[in-house]
Structure 1
């Protein structure tokens, strides 16, 4: 009976490892599929707005406010939901265009418009839990930023555990 119990424990441990690996792979695939996506917050909704009008609004923002060339191409652009002024998600055809937009987004400071990246649910949750640590480290005078799913503090990488404690990534 003891041997059978040990076998069950080992089998359970093996399955847990498989599930963890599958979750990691799924998260990686989702992240890759969202790699070229940007989310635009604070854009006013037009009455009976179509996806074509949504894309045109983004083009105007990019050329007028971000002062980028009008050669940026979107695969698609649409509102995330039907709520008033809901965010717009857009998929850039070229990753380099996404990077250009992200670098130029500082020109929007002081406006009601914010541009962010599209991440998986798991990564969004981790970033939400890292934000208080970012604020504390920034107040301490550290150079700090959130990069994907970890915190970068003065060149060192940190992750957050289930208790919201920072641990250095070696």
Structure 2
């Protein structure tokens, strides 16, 4: 009985892994757009609005032929609903994703399309990821794992090193200029020593002049 239960449990686990893989593949070419005004009158308007944002705001060349599908998700409310955009190729998806920072300062932002299970895992990994970056490790979060990039320093660590370097360099520069002033002062002082021991003109006695009592 225990053997059958273990076999059944193993079968269920494998099925779950298979379903996770299928879902990952289905979402592989997806991006989720947030903050896009819900003003479209039909499906064509929705596609056109997204393509316009990608071309004009993100400066990524994208045509309607490169869009496989677009749909709003969630219930209607006060805020615009997110849009799941499916591209025809993973390459185009990555090209757009790399330019996500170009939307900073606008009402729009984009994220990758992950299943709820993966989103929870990524949320749990955020604290560990932050800690590794603070330690100087160049770590990135890819899907449901933290990946360490060898031979590189994290951006956070570079900033910290830069700040430390600035703090240490400033006093050195000041003390350096001060030491130059001291050295110059010593040099002038040294140059004045021989002249101090030289006799004054009034103290000199000409060699061809005899004393009065001679």
TM-score grouping bracket, smaller chain normalisation: 0.7 to 0.9
Question: Which residue of the partner structure matches residue 80 of structure 2?
Answer: 85
Bigger drift between 98-107 and 108-117 goes to 108-117
Structure 1, residues 139-170: CA drift from partner, whole Å, max 9, x if none?
33322211011012344xxxxxxxxxxxxxxx
- Give the number of the structure whose alpha-carbon radius of gyration is greater: 2
Instruction: Between 106-115 and 119-128, report the one with greater CA deviation.
Output: 106-115
**Superimposed CA distance per residue, residues 26-55 of structure 1 (whole angstroms, 9 cap, x where no aligned partner):** 000111111111101122222x64322221
* Greater strand fraction, Structure 1 or Structure 2: 1
Higher RCO by CA contacts (8 Å cutoff, separation 6 or greater): 1
Range that drifts further, 33-42 or 68-77: 68-77
Question: How big is the alpha-carbon RMSD for the aligned residues of Structure 1 and Structure 2?
Answer: 1.8
Counterpart selection for 1:100 from 92, 95, 103: 95
How do 1:49-128 and structure 2 match up within 5 A?
49-71=41-63, 73-81=66-74, 82-83=76-77, 84-128=79-123
Contact 1:40 1:113 in 2 (8 A): yes
Question: How far apart, CA to CA, are the structure 2 residues paired with 1:71 and 1:42?
Answer: 21
| Secondary structure of the structure 2 residue equivalent to 1:143 | strand
Structure 2 CA distance, aligned partners of 1:146 and 1:111? 25
- Segments of 5+ residues of structure 2 without an aligned counterpart are 151-214
1:52-92 deviation line (CA, Å, top 9, x unaligned): 22211111111111111233621111211223212110110
The 3 A distance-change label for structure 1 pair 42 and 139 is: farther
Question: Which of the two has greater helix per residue?
Answer: 2
